């Protein structure tokens, strides 16, 4: 027996069903059971949600920093107290194990905490007497309605890269989650309401290309933050900017780890396991190519294989290390890349296709897979696979390794493992990738730095969160002032307060 629910939109502080007759199934990847039907908005539905955000904007923009910050603190406290609920929703629709889902929420929460400091972050500058009796001041103001379009792999964290800062800065938000795991967004909308956010400041629009296209073309939307695959990121950037919007579009990835001969191979092998197979490889910062430099490859592969065999693949609500892939189609696609790699001559050292999971037979399983002797021509190397498949490439020198990392289309994350500080510094300087780890396999920047890749991993020039995030969600204004008659009036001996 299954019971399905209809997952709709959230606008003007309440649920909104919309008028669409199109829906998409939402599935628990660990059981294969359809648990819900998500509404796929019509353009008219999308306009209604955007209009709700537009209506809320003037009052929210004019709400004092003190009040906005108080609501952000409330949201942070509620999220922190109830994050297990959100993690359970993520596991049920995405499949990642509960501990990983909790980790995702915590990383999102860090951005909420960063955004709580918005009064400091929005401070402008001022020059007195720039000309005789003339002062010049710079201020930053919100943009208006902003769209956030999220991928399936981080249904809570990726939206939280953007909306806390957007809201704190005085914008109103329309979040378009992935249709594969749409419920986390609604849970966060309800939390915002409980935190005291006025209706219409945070809205959720469920849907597919129709919803995205309305966000990209609607005159009421001033900026769009997108995260997803590179072809869609490119489309979103081109379409949004052609319609006069500010766009940051974060795309796909194919991340390399370079293991130098002097590295501690046990630590490097641990790191390859964590970064290759965490969240079943469905992370844009996952390591999918391990480049072994010099004579260490046999030993390194043996150490990774030994560890991979100990991992337990199963239902994320049980005590598993790795959950299922998000959909059956995606599992089949990832598995077909392993078939292709094998056919192309790669050696399958650990074969996830034969895994025995701790979970339902109908789950979308693929165990950790380790391929050795992968070459740069193989599709398992050239394409973003987004699954638990780690390919080992063998090269003789640091220069060959660097050339590999720099010649692919993506430049999201990378890591080098070495005890040689000089080599690490050279890599940090020469590698053409946005986020670099030195003996750190998944170098996701903390909230007060900015997240973003280079090359086809990001379109636009502003990265997510940190001061770049504040910059993205505000625009500058410079005010030049001369007061001919600086009178003032009124008497109040009370202590000045922020209420």
Phi, psi for 345 (deg, rounded to 5): 110, 0
Q: How far is the CB of 415 from ligand NAD (least distance, A)?
A: 16
Q: Which is nearer to ligand NAD, 374 or 458 (CB)?
A: 458
User: Both tokens of residue 428?
Assistant: 């940090």
Q: Which helix (H) or strand (E) holds 35?
A: strand 33-39
Q: Which helix (H) or strand (E) holds 59?
A: helix 43-61
Q: Which is nearer to ligand NAD, 260 or 334 (CB)?
A: 334
Q: Which is nearer to ligand NAD, 386 or 398 (CB)?
A: 386
Active site residue 284: yes
Cβ-based neighbour number of residue 429 at 10 Å = 8
Q: Which is nearer to ligand NAD, 87 or 297 (CB)?
A: 87
Q: Are 285 and 444 in contact (CB under 8 A)?
A: yes
Q: How far is the CB of 179 from ligand NAD (least distance, A)?
A: 5
Cα–Cα distance list, 221 to 22, 52, 54, 354, 458 (Å): 24, 12, 8, 48, 21
Q: How far is the CB of 203 from ligand NAD (least distance, A)?
A: 15
Longest dimension (CA), the chain: 85
Using Cβ positions, the residue closest to ligand NAD within the complex turns out to be: 228
- The strand ranges marked E within 202-282 are 202-204, 221-227, 246-250, 255-259
Q: How far is Cα 402 from Cα 389, in angstroms, rounded to an integer? A: 21
User: Both tokens of residue 310?
Assistant: 């100990």
Give which of 169, 151, 113, 201 is closest to 468, Cα–Cα.
Answer: 169
Q: How far is the CB of 477 from ligand NAD (least distance, A)?
A: 30
Q: Which is nearer to ligand NAD, 139 or 444 (CB)?
A: 444
Q: Which is nearer to ligand NAD, 212 or 265 (CB)?
A: 212
Q: How far is the CB of 409 from ligand NAD (least distance, A)?
A: 12
Q: How far is the CB of 334 from ligand NAD (least distance, A)?
A: 12
Q: Are 337 and 305 in contact (CB under 8 A)?
A: no
Bridge partners of 153, per DSSP, are none
Q: Which is nearer to ligand NAD, 136 or 444 (CB)?
A: 444
- Whether the CA torsion 306, 325, 281, 444 is positive or negative: it is negative
Q: How far is the CB of 410 from ligand NAD (least distance, A)?
A: 8
Question: Which one of 215, 223, 284, 395 is the catalytic residue?
Answer: 284
Please give the residue ranges that form the binding site for ligand NAD (CB under 6 A): 149-154, 158, 176, 178-179, 208-209, 212, 227-229, 232, 235, 250-253, 284, 384, 386, 412, 453, 457
Helices (H), ranges, 95-218:
98-115, 118-121, 157-168, 183-195, 209-217
The catalytic site residues sit at 284
């Amino acid at each position: 027996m299954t019971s399905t629910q209809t997952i709709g939109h959230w606008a003007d502080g309440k649920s909104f069903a919309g008028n669409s007759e199109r829906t998409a199934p939402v599935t628990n990847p660990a059981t294969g059971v359809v648990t819900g039907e998500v509404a796929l908005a019509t353009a008219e539905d999308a306009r209604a949600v955007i209009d709700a955000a537009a209506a809320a904007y003037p009052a929210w923009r004019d709400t004092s920093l003190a009040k906005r910050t108080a609501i952000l603190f409330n949201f942070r406290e509620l999220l922190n107290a109830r994050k297990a609920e959100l993690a359970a929703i993520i596991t049920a629709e995405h499949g990642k194990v509960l501990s990983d889902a909790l980790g995702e929420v915590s990383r999102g929460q860090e951005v909420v905490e960063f955004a709580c400091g918005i009064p400091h972050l929005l401070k402008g500058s001022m020059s007195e007497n720039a000309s005789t009796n003339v002062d010049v001041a710079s201020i930053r103001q919100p943009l208006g309605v902003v769209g956030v379009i999220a991928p399936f792999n981080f249904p809570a964290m990726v939206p939280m890269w953007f909306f806390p800062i957007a809201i704190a800065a005085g914008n109103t938000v329309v979040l378009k989650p992935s249709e594969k795991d749409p419920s986390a967004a609604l849970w966060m909308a309800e939390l915002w309401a409980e935190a005291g956010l006025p209706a219409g400041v945070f809205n959720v629009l469920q849907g597919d290309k129709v919803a995205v296209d309305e966000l990209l073309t609607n005159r009421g939307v001033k900026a769009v933050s997108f995260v997803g695959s590179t072809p869609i990121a490119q489309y979103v950037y081109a379409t949004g900017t052609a319609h006069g919007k500010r766009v940051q579009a974060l795309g796909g990835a194919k991340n390399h780890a370079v293991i130098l001969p002097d590295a501690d191979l046990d630590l490097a092998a641990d790191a390859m396991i964590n970064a290759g197979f965490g969240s079943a490889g469905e992370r844009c910062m996952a390591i999918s190519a391990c480049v072994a430099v010099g004579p260490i490859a046999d030993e390194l592969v043996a150490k990774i294989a030994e560890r991979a065999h100990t991992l337990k693949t199963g239902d994320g609500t049980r005590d598993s290390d790795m959950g299922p892939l998000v959909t059956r189609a995606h599992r089949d696609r990832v598995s077909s890349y392993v078939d292709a790699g094998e056919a192309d001559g790669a050696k399958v050292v650990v074969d996830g296709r034969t895994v025995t999971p701790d979970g339902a037979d109908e789950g979308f399983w693929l165990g950790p897979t380790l391929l050795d002797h992968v070459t740069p021509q193989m599709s398992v190397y050239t394409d973003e696979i987004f699954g638990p498949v780690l390919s080992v490439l063998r090269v003789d020198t640091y220069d060959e390794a660097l050339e590999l990392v720099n010649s692919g289309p993506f430049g999201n994350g990378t890591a080098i493992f070495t005890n040689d500080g000089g080599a690490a510094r050279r890599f940090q300087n020469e590698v053409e990738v946005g986020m670099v780890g030195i003996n750190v396999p998944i170098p996701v920047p903390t909230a007060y730095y900015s997240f973003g890749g280079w090359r086809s991993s990001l379109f636009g020039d502003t990265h997510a969160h940190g001061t770049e995030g504040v910059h993205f969600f505000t625009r500058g204004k410079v005010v030049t002032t001369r007061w001919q008659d600086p009178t003032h009036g009124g008497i109040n001996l009370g202590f000045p307060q922020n209420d």
